[in-house]
């Protein structure tokens, strides 16, 4: 199965190098780089004569100047002159032997500009340490999964066979399309804000704001769950935190402590996620080795289609395999996001699928089946049966710490989303202010306040409400993705899904059907609450525009954000030169 998942990754991400597969897969993954970036040295945009974009420079009517660019031997040679009555295009370095699509750049060689913060903070932001591949992989892991804790309900609802098949094939229907869209759109817009920027660029700022509101609210609702679950794991040893004032105080202390970790920097959060992830995965690896003598494959084939709770089954799969797009909201904090983001998404996809499938394979195959026992936390009982009390204790600790990892990862995405919206002028400028550690201080405080206010909700209400809002957000992402493919086909896409527009539409049909099913399975109460939340967003955006118009609060747009139209023209000019 590892080879199957890895092979799928190499097909979907053909420019990745996956070291543990060997030379065959590495040969498939590697390829020539058609375009790499060259910034002319003596161009100044201050006089308005030159407009800078990621891959091209345009100059018009100005003082007589001559810019000569001679490329190395074997490359395309050309000379560009600029003078009165001339309009000159300064092309990026282009290889003469272009065999791939001109607008799909190899992630190993494309190096675009860094996007900075607003105003005086730009230089300070540029000096902050960026997130590398490994921390980013585990940030995605905690955004989506955090380990197999919470998948036990799938066995109770549908039995071992459907549970195993669900976590093996559901990623093909849902996770892979979402990962591919995140890779293409995240490298197309390598800035904070992620899906808000995608929707805004395709559908306009109003719908971009609605996307940001729904996704932020969904993320905060999701994050309200983790302090509660953390205390639930500990209350068997500390009964006092099971309810009342001690529980409320514990939630506040835990929220403040984890919020402070986010405040100290995304790099700290990323490496903390690596440590927590290793600690959470190790007990399952050890349990797998200990369970080998006890495995009975016939237990994996048990199924009773008349006793399947489809609502619980589908919601469990959906909740455990979504939020791949959340990492896009902090793409501006990633080291070389055009190369790093797709690689991290591919590795995280493999890690998440294995982290769900293998523990389920062990638990259902090594322990006699009693579906009623397969509820939240049952893996700790499986660990005791297979390895003893010490393994159960380790796994319970891993479960508790996994909730901490999911909390800090989700809060990072939520807070940087607000920062990205402020850089786009959708929120007041103070949301873009950073702490001395480079973190969005106001965004963190807003997200933490939302967590505290929503922590009184029950587990079922939290999951249902966030799924409903998340579904609406995903529909807008799908629409924005297809529209940008149609209206801006030649815009720079350092990673491009290896499908045409028609193929992408076909790819999105199954997840769209799944979204409709999840929405129909929602209770009336959840529907009413979610619709009210949507209406608040419809009211909030015009109110903010009125505040901006009256100048009660300052709004501003960062001048360092990418220009989609200019970049598309640059790509078209490059294509004409090569032709």
Mean pLDDT of 401-406: 86
Mean pLDDT of 186-197: 91
3-state secondary structure of 51: strand
Whole-number pLDDT of residue 221: 81
What is the bridge-based pairing of β-strands 50-52 and 56-60? antiparallel
Cα four-point dihedral sign 32, 35, 39, 41? positive
Residue 37: Cβ-neighbour burial (10 angstroms; 0-12, 13-18, 19+): middle
Least confident of 330-339, 431-440, 522-531: 522-531
Over 60: is that where the pLDDT of 7 sits?
A: no
Contact yes or no for 337/130 (Cβ under 8 A): no
Whole-number pLDDT of residue 427: 92
C-alpha neighbours within 13 Å on the C-beta side of residue 439:
25
Nearest to 424 by CA among 548, 571, 264, 569: 548
Cα four-point dihedral sign 338, 491, 124, 127? positive
Mean pLDDT of 200-213: 93
Q: Return the H-helix or E-strand segment holding 59.
A: strand 56-60
Whole-number pLDDT of residue 567: 58
Burial 80-97 (b: 16+ CB within 10 A, else e): bebeeeeebbbbbebbee
Q: Comparing 568 with 434, which gets the higher pLDDT?
A: 434
Over 50: is that where the pLDDT of 177 sits?
A: yes
- DSSP code per residue over 455-505: TTS-HHHHHHHHHHHHHHHHHHHHHHHHHHHHH-TTS-BSS--SS-HHHHH
Nearest to 327 by CA among 206, 457, 222, 178: 178
Residues 6 or more apart whose CB falls under 8 angstroms from that of 565 comprise: none
Q: pLDDT > 70: what percent of the chain?
A: 71
State the Cα–Cα distance between residues 227 and 220, nearest whole angstrom: 12
Whole-number pLDDT of residue 359: 93
Mean pLDDT of 50-70: 33
Mean pLDDT of 316-326: 88
Over 60: is that where the pLDDT of 138 sits?
A: yes
Over 60: is that where the pLDDT of 3 sits?
A: no
Whole-number pLDDT of residue 171: 92
Over 80: is that where the pLDDT of 82 sits?
A: no
Contact yes or no for 319/521 (Cβ under 8 A): no
Domains of the chain: 133-551 (1.20.1740.10)
Contact yes or no for 361/294 (Cβ under 8 A): no
* Helix locations, 189-265, DSSP H: 195-203, 205-223, 225-234, 244-263
Mean pLDDT of 397-424: 88
Residues 6 or more apart whose CB falls under 8 angstroms from that of 250 comprise: 227, 231, 241
Mean pLDDT of 337-353: 93
State the Cα–Cα distance between residues 392 and 270, nearest whole angstrom: 27
Q: pLDDT > 90: what percent of the chain?
A: 32
């Amino acid at each position: 199965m590892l080879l199957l998942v890895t092979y799928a990754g190499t097909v979907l991400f053909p420019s990745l190098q996956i070291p543990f597969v060997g030379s065959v897969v590495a040969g498939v993954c590697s390829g020539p780089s058609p375009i790499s970036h060259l910034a002319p040295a003596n161009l100044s945009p201050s006089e308005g004569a030159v407009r800078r974009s990621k891959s091209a420079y345009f100059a018009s009517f100005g003082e007589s100047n001559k810019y000569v660019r001679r490329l190395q031997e074997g490359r395309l040679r050309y000379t560009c002159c600029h003078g009165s009555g001339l309009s000159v295009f300064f092309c990026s370095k282009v290889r003469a032997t272009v065999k791939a699509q001109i607008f799909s750049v190899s992630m190993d060689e494309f190096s675009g500009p860094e996007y900075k913060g607003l105003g005086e903070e730009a230089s300070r932001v540029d000096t902050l340490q960026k997130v590398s591949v490994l921390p980013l992989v585990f940030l995605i892991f905690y955004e989506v999964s955090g380990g197999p804790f919470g998948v036990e309900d799938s066995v109770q609802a549908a039995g071992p066979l459907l549970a195993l098949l669900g976590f093996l094939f559901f990623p093909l229907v849902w996770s892979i399309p979402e990962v591919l869209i995140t890779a293409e759109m995240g490298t197309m817009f390598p800035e904070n804000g992620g899906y808000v920027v995608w929707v805004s660029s395709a559908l306009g700022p109003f719908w971009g704001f609605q996307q940001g509101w729904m996704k932020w609210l969904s993320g905060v609702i999701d994050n309200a769950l983790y302090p509660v679950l953390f205390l639930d794991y500990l209350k068997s040893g500390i009964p006092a935190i099971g309810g009342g004032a001690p529980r409320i105080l514990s939630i506040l202390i835990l929220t403040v402590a984890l919020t402070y970790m986010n405040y100290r920097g995304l790099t700290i959060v990323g490496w903390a996620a690596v440590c927590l992830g290793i600690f959470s995965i190790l007990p399952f690896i050890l349990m797998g080795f200990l369970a080998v003598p006890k495995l009975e494959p016939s237990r994996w084939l048990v199924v009773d289609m008349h006793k399947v709770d489809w609502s619980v089954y589908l919601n469990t799969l959906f909740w455990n395999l979504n939020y791949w797009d959340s990492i896009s909201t902090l793409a501006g904090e990633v080291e070389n996001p055009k190369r790093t983001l797709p690689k991290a998404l591919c590795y995280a996809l493999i890690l998440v699928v294995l982290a769900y499938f293998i523990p389920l394979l062990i638990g259902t195959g090594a322990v006699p089946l009693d579906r009623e026992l397969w509820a939240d936390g049952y893996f700790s009982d499986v660990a005791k049966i297979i390895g003893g009390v010490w393994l159960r204790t380790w796994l319970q600790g891993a479960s508790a710490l996994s909730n901490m990892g999911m909390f800090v990862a989700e809060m990072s995405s939520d807070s940087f989303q607000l920062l990205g919206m402020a850089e786009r002028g959708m929120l007041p400028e103070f949301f873009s202010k950073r702490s001395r550690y480079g973190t969005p201080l106001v965004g963190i405080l807003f997200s933490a306040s939302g967590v505290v206010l929503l922590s009184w909700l029950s587990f079922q209400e939290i999951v249902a409400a966030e799924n409903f809002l998340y579904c609406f957000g995903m529909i807008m992402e799908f629409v924005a993705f297809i529209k940008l493919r149609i209206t801006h086909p030649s815009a720079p896409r350092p990673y491009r899904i290896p499908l045409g527009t028609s193929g992408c539409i076909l790819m999105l049909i199954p997840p769209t059907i799944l979204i409709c099913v999840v929405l129909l399975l929602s209770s009336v109460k959840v529907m009413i609450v979610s619709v009210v939340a949507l209406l608040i967003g419809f009211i909030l955006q015009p109110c903010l525009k009125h505040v901006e118009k009256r100048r009660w609060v300052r709004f501003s747009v960062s001048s360092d954000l990418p220009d989609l139209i200019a970049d598309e023209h640059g790509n078209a000019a490059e294509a004409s030169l090569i032709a």
